[in-house]
Structure 1
């Protein structure tokens, strides 16, 4: 089994600041996440900041979020289920999950 190599901005996310946030938001845009989610406001799904706050500090949170993205989930944020994002690679799902978790600490605009 090959080791997962994460980009430097994920490993240093708390110190990376605005560039990590911009990179994460760009990836979310590229993967069409922003069609259902926004950083601050509820759209179809919960805002990314609310997800970050719910899972902040939990062991395994990034893996849990990545799995929820790829496999889908239901009943955690209301009646509307999160459809499985089967075209999202495991690496991109983890990158997105790590970015989302940084939003719990990012100052709101």
Structure 2
């Protein structure tokens, strides 16, 4: 019985996590991020996996949030990333998105 409870709990947590992931991906799409970025392939901008690899082990959530807000260029190539104001993605959703990207 304990095994059944553990299995049910694990399944429930997986469903919650996949729902949260879907919400983050929806916010990234609404904010326009997915027009230039993809999870696992370079498009106009770097893939989320490339971003995660570059910053692995670093505490960069706040600096990356600032970079998303102000825009930037030169870190992953010459194509600039336009600024993304709070009207496109609020601070809480942006923080969640950056954390999601860094775990990719």
Contact residue 37 and residue 43 of structure 2 kept, 8 A:
yes
Tell me the alpha carbon deviations over residues 55-107 of structure 1, each in whole angstroms, 9 at most, x when there is no partner. 12102x1111111111111110101011111233222221110111121xxxx
Aligned-CA RMSD value: 1.6
What 5-or-longer segments of structure 1 have no aligned partner? Answer: 1-15, 104-109
Q: Which residue of 1 aligns with 2:100?
A: 99
Which residue pairs with 2:21 in the alignment?
Answer: 21
- C-alpha separation in 2, matches of 1:19 and 1:101: 18
Structure 2: unaligned runs, 5 residues or longer: 1-15
The list of structure 1 runs, each at least 4 consecutive aligned residues, that deviate by more than 6 angstroms after superposition, is none
* Distance (whole Å) between structure 1 residues aligned to residue 56 and residue 103 of structure 2: 8
Aligned equivalent of 2:7:
none
> Higher helix proportion, which one?
2
User: TM-score under structure 1 normalisation?
Assistant: 0.70
